[in-house]
Amino acid sequence: MYLDKRLEDDKDYGLSLFKLGDEDCIKWLDTKETGSVVYVSFGSLANLGEDQMEELACGLKQSNRYFLWVVRASEESKLPTNFATEASEKGRVVNWCPQLKVLAHPATGWFMTHCGWNSTMEALSLGVPMVAVPQWADQPTNAKYIVDIWQVGVRVKVDEKGMIRREEIELCMREVMEGERGNELKRNAVRWKEFAKEAVGEAQGHINPLVQFSKRLASKGLKVTLVVTKKSLQSQDSSIKVEHIADFLEDSNQISDNVESFINRFRVAVSRGLRELIEKQNSLGCPVKIVVYDSSMPWVLDIAHELGLYGAVFSTQSCAVGAVYYHMYKGSLKNIGPVEGSTVSLPSMPLMETKDLSSFIYDMGSYPSMLRLVVNQFSNWEKADWRLFNTFDKLEGGKCVVTINAVDGCKGFAFFHIRYGHVSSFRRLVLDRFSDFDKADWLLFNSFDKPERKVVNWMASQWPVKTVGPTIPSMYLDKRLEDDRDYDLSLFKPGDDDCIRWLDTKETGSVVYVSFGSLANLKEDQMEELACGLKRSNRYFLWVVRASEESKLPTNFSTEASENGLVVNWCPQLKVLAHPAMGCFMTHCGWNSILEALSLGVPMLAVPQWTDQPTNAKYVVDIWQAGVRVKVDEKGMIRREEIETCIREVMEGERGNELKRNAVRWKELAKAAVDEGGSSDKHIDEFISELACN
């Protein structure tokens, strides 16, 4: 109700320490102006001295602000005589209130809190700045983060006797509710509210391809169970059964600053839950025969084999990127640096410069844990029964020679995880994904035959590889699966389709669609360059900017650019890319986005950021010739002039026509791959046949 709104009737905690009274306080808040009330609550265990209660009471009165103060009945005797009556013009004192409703109320401007973790998370999730009054246990640490790390509040100072004086309370309230300082804290609080919303969403980039692959298997008669870790995930497709395990991820108290610790807990919980689920299925007379698992969880293969089941790796990245990471895992890529004139040569792949490779290769010290996660995907490939890739056979053919100059084209982008902050251990997580390649029974890739023919053939000579993609809804490709119009599971709750109605008013091929995925965190100066470049191009544009990033846009940009552009927080990407008005896709080059653009015949303007994206961009531009890649300056910035130039190159003249023709050709090849008798369709049939024979 207060975040993603995906759980119907989930409006409160259900269980409360206190008996609920009436909600007069909400009615009282309804009479107050937006952001005008200070909400004061110190939790269910606070035990303030009588003199401290008096200082708080006087400070609240002196501030001349409206306030709602929760004072437990057992503490009321400590209030100054007749305080509640004397302060009734500005304040309301209650024994209990529905805190979530109060914090979510438009009139609530600030929260004076003891900094208990639950209260802190509720305030962050609802965008309410805080006055931190920590008392004991974890509260001082939480207050430190509120003030210095998240910058969403101020902390009261105590005197030499440990008392918070009335003057200090009044001063803090004025600081947080007045002037530019108050506005800044409010903006930060709203930003964290958006981060909190995003944190409870699904890992869309990995789940969607697996959902679509499940639909393909179910359409051929297999009984498919999709295993997820969130009860909030449901599939609308009746052919797929959804089971939930390890729902501990919903508990914000389980989130740690240490990514490695979180991953270990995740592995333990999922391993236990998966074993229990398989045993339950067997006891019900529906024995499991194979586990198809995301390549980021190579340890699932060991569980499958221990239980006498087959295991198939499902990779949501391209075969080319998989091959690069495998060579990293095997130690073939070492001591690579930005040496001008050098090239990197790998079997079945074009010669590439470092900027065309994963960012983990050049700077191996930045993300040790995530690098291990990626590389360890290959640790047991030899043991897997199948390896499935979301690609298709023609997608990665071709050859070119280029030189080394820099690791990442777009250093203006930074990775900031909404739960963990800046992730220093990301690299191990990425490379660990390849630790099972030599043990898996099959390797399944979300790709198709034509784009990656050479690298697919090389990988098939090493392991039981099958390309089974592109895994996008059938409506946009072969149209053989009835009612398969969307992914069913989405990271963001779909809103209305205003952007589609806006596109309906535009001419064919006239619009630039701009989206950098769900994790991009562009710096303010880079956002300004992008905004100005879009305006200078004088082209219609549809730009997806997450609510948490909107504050980085130039002042009044959305209004000033409204004649040619539309800025939205979310849009139905498949519908947008399939719309006749679509002329170009400015993309971060995530694999799912690239497959969608190829499958729908949309030329691309490549703006790669990190991990697999530089390699994907290399193929978009030099191998498939379906787009152009932006150039960065010596500071790693993409300038407005470069953006304007690239947009014109993709959408104008003979060069633009050539890119469009190539994109349309890839659209037809993608459709052919999944249609009856196509390469990916045959690979799925072979996979089912081999499974049945075994």
Choose the weakest-confidence range: 44-48, 97-101, 437-441, 583-587.
Answer: 44-48
Question: Do β-strands 441-448 and 240-244 pair in parallel, antiparallel, or remain unpaired?
Answer: unpaired
Q: Which of 206, 579, 588, 683 is catalytic?
A: 206
Q: Could you tell me which of 472, 526, 517 has the C-alpha nearest to residue 211? A: 472
How confident is the model over 75-89, as pLDDT tens digits?
888 888 888 888 888
Least confident of 351-355, 638-642, 678-682: 351-355
Determine which of 205-219, 504-518, 591-605 has the lowest per-residue pLDDT on average: 205-219
Q: Is the pLDDT of residue 505 over 70?
A: yes
Q: Where are the domains of the chain?
A: 24-192, 498-667
- Examine domains 24-192 and 498-667 and report if their fold is the same: yes
Which pLDDT value is given to residue 676?
Answer: 93
Q: Which tokens hold the place of 489?
A: 């599971």
Q: How far apart are the first and last CA of the chain?
A: 47
Taking residues 532-539, report their average pLDDT: 96
pLDDT digit string (tens) for 255-293?
A: 434 456 667 778 888 899 999 999 999 999 889 999 999
Return d(Cα 403, Cα 338) in angstroms, integer. 10
Min mean pLDDT across 41-50, 63-72, 581-590 is at 41-50
| pLDDT for the residue 6 | 43
Return phi, psi of residue 368, to 5°.
-60, -45
Task: Let me know how long the chain is.
Answer: 694
What does the pLDDT look like over 168-206, one tens digit per residue? Answer: 888 888 887 777 888 888 888 877 776 655 544 434 567
Confidence of residue 418 (pLDDT cuts 50, 70, 90): very low
Find the range with the poorest average confidence among 190-204, 506-520, 549-563: 190-204
pLDDT reading at 4 higher than 50: no
For residue 607, name the pLDDT band (cuts at 50, 70, 90). Answer: very high
Does 40 score more than 70 pLDDT? Answer: yes
Q: Cα separations (Å) of 70 from 50, 165, 503, 563, 640?
A: 16, 19, 50, 49, 53
**pLDDT, position 654:** 95
Residue whose C-alpha is closest to residue 136's, from 39, 45, 253, 251: 45
Q: 433-471, pLDDT tens digit by residue? A: 667 778 889 999 989 888 888 889 998 888 899 999 899
Q: Is the pLDDT of residue 245 over 70?
A: yes
Q: How far apart are CA 470 and CA 574, in angstroms?
A: 13
Check if the beta carbon of residue 435 is closer than 8 Å to that of residue 376.
yes
What's the average model confidence in pLDDT over 481-505? 73
Q: Which of 135-149, 168-182, 404-418, 463-477 has the lowest mean pLDDT?
A: 404-418
114 given a catalytic annotation: no
Which pLDDT does position 242 carry in this prediction? 87
pLDDT given for residue 531 in this prediction:
97
HSE value, Cβ hemisphere, 13 Å, CA-based, for 347: 13
What's the DSSP call for residue 404?
-
Which CATH superfamily does the domain covering 24-192 fall into?
A: Glycogen Phosphorylase B; (3.40.50.2000)
Query: What is the pLDDT, as a whole number, of residue 261?
Result: 64
Q: Among 311-315, 510-514, 536-540, which is the least confidently predicted range?
A: 311-315
Q: What is the mean pLDDT of residues 333-340?
A: 56
Residue 238 reports pLDDT greater than 90: no
Distance of CA 14 to the CA centre of its chain: 29
Cis peptide before 470 (omega within 30 of 0): yes
**CA–CA gap between residue 630 and residue 586 (Å, rounded):** 10
pLDDT, tens digit, for every residue of 346-401?
Answer: 888 888 777 777 766 655 444 455 556 665 666 665 666 665 655 544 443 332 22
By the 10 Å C-beta count (0-12 exposed, 13-18 middle, 19+ buried), 610 is classed as buried
Rounded Cα–Cα distance for residues 42 and 24 (Å): 20
- What percentage of the chain reaches a pLDDT higher than 90? 33
More confident residue, 538 or 138: 538
3-class secondary-structure state, position 137: coil
Instruction: Report the predicted TM-score, pTM, of the whole model to 2 decimal places.
Output: 0.66
- Asked whether the predicted pLDDT for residue 340 surpasses 60, the reply is no
Amino acid identity, position 562 = S
Q: What is the 3-class SS of 477-507, one letter each residue?
A: CCCCCCCCCCCCCCCCCCCCCHHHHHHHCCC
Least confident piece of the model among 1-5, 87-91, 503-507, 681-685: 1-5
Instruction: Convert 337-402 into a string of H (helix), E (strand) and C (coil).
Output: CCCCCCCECCCCCCCECHHHCCHHHHCCCCCHHHHHHHHHHHCCECCCEEEEEEEEEECECCCCCC
Please state, rounded to an integer, the average pLDDT across all residues of the chain. Answer: 79
What's the pLDDT score for residue 260? Answer: 61
pLDDT at res. 58: 86
Catalytic residue among 105, 114, 237, 294: 294
Homologous superfamily in CATH for domain 498-667: Glycogen Phosphorylase B; (3.40.50.2000)
Q: Are 431 and 374 in contact (CB under 8 A)?
A: yes
Can you name the residues that pair with 390 across neighbouring β-strands? 446
Residue 412: per-residue pLDDT = 27
Residue 407 pLDDT more than 50?
A: no
Beta strand spans in 21-71 (E): 37-41, 66-70
Handedness of CA 451, 452, 453, 456 (dihedral sign): negative
Digit-coded pLDDT (tens) for 203-212: 456 788 888 8
Residue 488 designated active-site: no
Is residue 603 within 8 Å of 585, Cβ to Cβ? Answer: yes
For residues 491 and 229, the answer to whether their CB atoms sit within 8 Å is no
* pLDDT tier at 666, thresholds 50, 70, 90: very high
pLDDT category of residue 494 using cuts at 50, 70 and 90: very low
pLDDT the model gives residue 536: 95
Query: Which candidate, 142, 158, 160, 139, places its Cα nearest to that of 150?
Result: 142
Answer whether residue 129 shows pLDDT above 60. Answer: yes
Task: Flag the least confident range among 51-60, 346-355, 402-411.
Answer: 402-411
Indicate whether 604 pLDDT > 70. yes
